[in-house]
Structure 1
Amino acid sequence: MYPNTRLRRTRQADWSRRLVRENALSVNDLIWSVVVSDTADPVEPVAAMPGVERLSLAALAKAAKEAQALGIPAMAIFPHIDPAKKDDAGSEALNADGLVPNAIRTIKDAAPDLGVICDVALDPFTTHGHDGILQGDRIANDETVERLIEQALVQADAGCDVVAPSDMMDGRIGAIREALEGEGHHDTMILSYAAKYASGFYGPYREAIGSAAALKGDKQTYQMDPSNRDECLREVELDIAEGADMVMVKPGLPYLDIVRALSDTFPVPVYAFQVSGEYAMIEAAAANGWIDGDRVMMESLLAFKRAGAAGVITYFARRAAMKLAG
């Protein structure tokens, strides 16, 4: 009881605060989310995400070298492709000489020690903006999984280290794992977007990859209901059983309880995706002088670690790594 117990005692100096600190953020916790584009311009600013640009392959190579120099372990790449290459089936996702395979090879040539994570989903490649094959007004699960298998193999053949299915189709992890094993990609990891919610925080990303205007309807029939917690435990359990090496929670900050629940329950690395809407809110508030942007950036990333995340996919990775380096 007070005054024998004074919890403020350990808060009086920097050295004592560091000694009793329960969680710490390091560069090893950061995955840099980048958007790569097949346009001729070296970089194209994304209006809804100040500070984020669509990168040409040449600009991607430069960013990869910087990431490796900063000690960032991996990049997660997301494509913005020419609308003329899109169709209802997302066929460009299967092009072995397409933007994503060339982006993988570009990173591996520029920064051989940098891990490459690739999104496995059809929404950047479809005219309708959905993550799968649209039949009428419904996303066809099994037909979509067949496409995702081919997409994952194209990425693995190009040298991708981690394929990351974000589509939320049933059974796709097991199907992709079986295909990877069958083609000799025994070391290719699967990071499953196992707990991906039908969220309103994705808007700026859809602008960044060029799917916002095309999206017909919403994604609530395959992404999870934000009201549900226990359902994500079932999703993750199934994905681990099917061969996922790691699992993802998306979005991040509004779903820290989900990060904690998964990290407490399953013996696999749990990652969080600090999505575009989270990034945009912090940047907008900082631009208006309402918050200290860098301080809130670092505080938000630390929150993921406190919740139990093994790491964070974030558009802030480069800035955060520079601050951590001093």
Structure 2
Amino acid sequence: MTRQAPPAFPLSRPRRMRRTPALRALQREERLSVDDLIWPVFLCDGESVTQEVASMPGVIRRSVDLTVEAAAEAHAAGIRVICLFPYTLDDVKTPDCAEAWNPENLTNRAIRAIKAQVPDIAVMTDIALDPYNPDGHDGFVEDGIIVNDRSVEALVKMAVAQAEAGADILGPSDMMDGRIGAMRAALEQAGHGEVTIMSYAAKYASAFYGPFRDAVGASGALKGDKKTYQLDPLNRAEALRAVARDIGEGADMVMVKPGMPYLDICREVKDRFAVPTYAYQVSGEYAMIRAAAGNGWIDGEKAMMESLMAFRRAGCDGVLTYFAPEAAKLIRAGWE
């Protein structure tokens, strides 16, 4: 495409198009919509229970009944997708991680309850063993090594159980090799070929996950780190290979995680593969904005919205963000 160079000043005065809100809107290249927001929600056991997550101000865990209420409120605000993450107690964490595919586990009960009461909201889930693993890892640990193939077998059972509970979108976040193909084959065989997969295809070994691990009860359990299965933060080409692999194995959507530190990866994934591409504005990103705003160092509302705009500009079709309810209200109120 041939690009016409702008004429010299004063024929060219770019500020003409910035002079009023109407003119700025007329040339705006991207739009941030409520449709772009996916809201991650933390679950806990009990009834009418809420628990604050200390490292994520404003974020709470909710029992299933209150999660259903929150889903209804989110849907009324225009949010179309919520993503469930369970806080699991130590007594259900076992070496075989069998609670992960228990039809009556916290996540599966929540899926059924939400779909019964708020059928039009899409429910996304997390697929990884860390909430159920005494070692805190996304796969099984044998002699200090996170093993791949045995872990994939367990993750497949988890995926099928969530599909049977009524999940609309499965989110494998484990970064084991071959898990997307194995899940897709199992879902087809089990009669769940319509269930979509948003693969955490480019998930980096990041320091920005700390508050999330507090939220799901995995911080104290984690032994070592996750560098043998999550991506090196310096690697771009490897991330693109991982995305290509997951698309080839049947992922309908792909995710880059974390979000803002990896906007370059988001842009390249979208440009290269032209598939539905998402980012996760992770707990550490959220906590930093909250903390800075809480100390009066930044305007929290403006920083929140600017951060979400960055994902759209980088090519993302949407973003998982703990800010979703607040952002939805501002967008619907005509945020400028």
TM class, shorter-chain normalised?
over 0.9
How many Å separate the matches in 2 of 1:89 and 1:132?
10
- Report how far residue 90 of structure 1 moved: 1.6
What one-letter code is carried by the residue in structure 2 that aligns with 1:69?
A
1:113-142 deviations in Å (ceiling 9; x for gaps): 000000000001111100011001111100
Contact kept? 2:254, 2:277, Cα under 8 Å: yes
1:54-74 deviations in Å (ceiling 9; x for gaps): 110111011000011011110
How many Å separate the matches in 1 of 2:88 and 2:137?
15
What one-letter code is carried by the residue in structure 2 that aligns with 1:262?
V
What one-letter code is carried by the residue in structure 2 that aligns with 1:304?
F
The corresponding residue for 1:201 is 208
Contact kept? 1:64, 1:110, Cα under 8 Å: no
Contact kept? 2:108, 2:165, Cα under 8 Å: yes
The corresponding residue for 2:197 is 190
Quick one: percent identity of the two aligned structures? 55
2:102 to 91, 95, 98: 95
How many Å separate the matches in 2 of 1:305 and 1:143?
37
How many Å separate the matches in 2 of 1:14 and 1:243?
43
How many Å separate the matches in 2 of 1:106 and 1:302?
33
How many Å separate the matches in 1 of 2:22 and 2:316?
26
- Report how far residue 110 of structure 1 moved: 2.2
1:128-173 deviations in Å (ceiling 9; x for gaps): 1000110011111000000000000000000001111000000000
Matches within 5 A, 1:1-326: 1-39=8-46, 42-326=49-333
Contact kept? 2:77, 2:328, Cα under 8 Å: yes
- Report how far residue 89 of structure 1 moved: 2.6
Contact kept? 2:53, 2:214, Cα under 8 Å: yes
1:183-207 deviations in Å (ceiling 9; x for gaps): 0001000110000000000000000
1:194-230 deviations in Å (ceiling 9; x for gaps): 0000000000000000000110000000000000001
What one-letter code is carried by the residue in structure 1 that aligns with 2:157?
E
> Secondary structure at the residue paired with 1:48?
coil
Contact kept? 1:39, 1:82, Cα under 8 Å: no
TM-score normalised according to structure 2 size: 0.96
What one-letter code is carried by the residue in structure 2 that aligns with 1:73?
R
How many Å separate the matches in 2 of 1:77 and 1:294?
25
Aligned CA-pair RMSD: 0.8
Range moving further from structure 2, 284-293 or 87-96: 87-96
Contact kept? 2:209, 2:283, Cα under 8 Å: yes
How many Å separate the matches in 2 of 1:254 and 1:22?
22
- Report how far residue 40 of structure 1 moved: 5.1
What one-letter code is carried by the residue in structure 2 that aligns with 1:101?
N
What one-letter code is carried by the residue in structure 1 that aligns with 2:101?
L
How many Å separate the matches in 2 of 1:174 and 1:276?
29
1:281-324 deviations in Å (ceiling 9; x for gaps): 00000000011111111110010000000000110111100111
Contact kept? 2:111, 2:166, Cα under 8 Å: yes
> Secondary structure at the residue paired with 2:219?
coil
5+ residue gaps, structure 2, are 1-7
What one-letter code is carried by the residue in structure 1 that aligns with 2:51?
E
- Report how far residue 88 of structure 1 moved: 2.1
How many Å separate the matches in 2 of 1:150 and 1:207?
26
1:19-47 deviations in Å (ceiling 9; x for gaps): 01111100000000110111456100000
What one-letter code is carried by the residue in structure 2 that aligns with 1:275?
V
How many Å separate the matches in 2 of 1:267 and 1:289?
40
- Report how far residue 268 of structure 1 moved: 1.2
5+ residue gaps, structure 1, are none
TM-score normalised according to structure 1 size: 0.99
How many Å separate the matches in 2 of 1:108 and 1:244?
23
Runs of 4+ in 1 over 6 A off after TM superposition: none
